[in-house]
Amino acid sequence: EDQVTQSPEALRLQEGESSSLNCSYTVSGLRGLFWYRQDPGKGPEFLFTLYSAGEEKEKERLKATLTKKESFLHITAPKPEDSATYLCAVQLPPNAGGTSYGKLTFGQGTILTVHP
Amino acid sequence: EPEVTQTPSHQVTQMGQEVILRCVPISNHLYFYWYRQILGQKVEFLVSFYNNEISEKSEIFDDQFSVERPDGSNFTLKIRSTKLEDSAMYFCASRARLASGANEQFFGPGTRLTVL
């Protein structure tokens, strides 16, 4: 069964303390891997899409990387406003009929807390 | 910046009642989705909708659920006879187009459904 696992479940950092979040997946024929940020009581906010192993994308203090089995979200010198739940999601290849409609399968998320 | 909107933000209903959750996707998007997130759990796919019909649905999306795009802007999720276990955050998402790669989905702020 296709699966997306994120680790750690929770991460507490001091402001300025860099770290990485992990998303491992066991899907066949990944079409895309997505990172979202979710604040409490809000909808997921799109951050990055990665399509192929070796790809990297950056946005401010965040950098996402992708291998054939996992993705990392690196946070450099985080600030308290980076505190949120970070969600990883994968898009699977087309079904047997050859059509993909974009269904996302999410991991359980990593709750990041950055203390001042 | 265009965004997905959802109404109401919070809906409280009695078990067995019908509810309709409303969404206005981003205007030039073609693919529409509903997801739900039970408190403390993963975001789960419910249904995708394209070209005025359901394109894919999960096992959660049984006969009690239906979706509709009644006009050019709204996208609705109806639950005919709500159960206690339907209590969750319901997110609408939309996507621009089908391409050879994956395309990001943009999520609304969610409707919190509480079934008493």
Query: For B36-52, how does the pLDDT look when each residue is reduced to its tens digit (9 = 90+)?
Result: 999 999 999 999 999 89
B100 band by pLDDT with thresholds 50, 70 and 90: low
Q: How many beta carbons lie within 10 A of that of residue A110, not counting itself? A: 20
Whether residue B91 and residue A107 make contact (CB cut-off 8 A), yes or no, is no
Residue of chain A with shortest Cα separation from B6: A43
Per-residue pLDDT, B71: 87
Note whether residue B109 is domain-resident: no
Residue B97 burial by CB count (10 A; 0-12/13-18/19+): exposed, middle or buried? exposed
Whether residue B50 and residue A107 make contact (CB cut-off 8 A), yes or no, is no
Note whether residue B58 is domain-resident: yes
The mean per-residue pLDDT over the stretch A32-50 comes to: 95
Per-residue pLDDT, B99: 60
Residues of chain B neighbouring A89 (CB-CB closer than 8 A): 43
Note whether residue B113 is domain-resident: no
Per-residue pLDDT, A100: 62
Query: For A75-97, how does the pLDDT look when each residue is reduced to its tens digit (9 = 90+)?
Result: 999 999 999 999 999 987 766 55
Query: For A5-37, how does the pLDDT look when each residue is reduced to its tens digit (9 = 90+)?
Result: 999 999 999 999 999 999 999 877 788 899 999
- Chain mean position to CA A40: 17
Give domain A4-94's CATH number out of 3.10.105.10, 3.30.1110.20, 2.60.40.10, 3.30.465.10.
Answer: 2.60.40.10
Whether residue A42 and residue B102 make contact (CB cut-off 8 A), yes or no, is no
Number of domains in chain B: 1
CA atoms within 13 A on the CB side of A79: 4
**d(C-alpha A86, C-alpha A50), whole Å:** 15
**d(C-alpha A49, C-alpha B71), whole Å:** 31
Q: Are the CB atoms for A71 and A81 separated by under 8 Å?
A: no
Note whether residue B75 is domain-resident: yes
**d(C-alpha B88, C-alpha B84), whole Å:** 10
Whether residue A108 and residue B102 make contact (CB cut-off 8 A), yes or no, is no
The mean per-residue pLDDT over the stretch B95-101 comes to: 68
Query: For B48-95, how does the pLDDT look when each residue is reduced to its tens digit (9 = 90+)?
Result: 999 899 999 999 999 999 999 988 789 999 999 999 999 999 999 999
Q: How many beta carbons lie within 10 A of that of residue A58, not counting itself? A: 12
**d(C-alpha A46, C-alpha B112), whole Å:** 20
Instruction: Name the more confident of A99 and B72.
Output: B72
Q: Which domain holds residue B30?
A: 5-96
Strands B111-115 and B10-13 turn out to be parallel
Residues of chain B neighbouring A95 (CB-CB closer than 8 A): 56
A1 band by pLDDT with thresholds 50, 70 and 90: low
User: Cα–Cα distances in Å, from B54 out to A21, B76, B100?
Assistant: 35, 12, 21
B96 band by pLDDT with thresholds 50, 70 and 90: confident
DSSP A83: -
- The tokens describing B78, both together, are 């109806």
**d(C-alpha A43, C-alpha A37), whole Å:** 9
Residue B75: CATH number of its domain: 2.60.40.10
Q: Are the CB atoms for A34 and A79 separated by under 8 Å?
A: no
Residue of chain B with shortest Cα separation from A95: B56
Any chain A CB within 8 A of the CB of B65?
no
Per-residue pLDDT, A102: 84
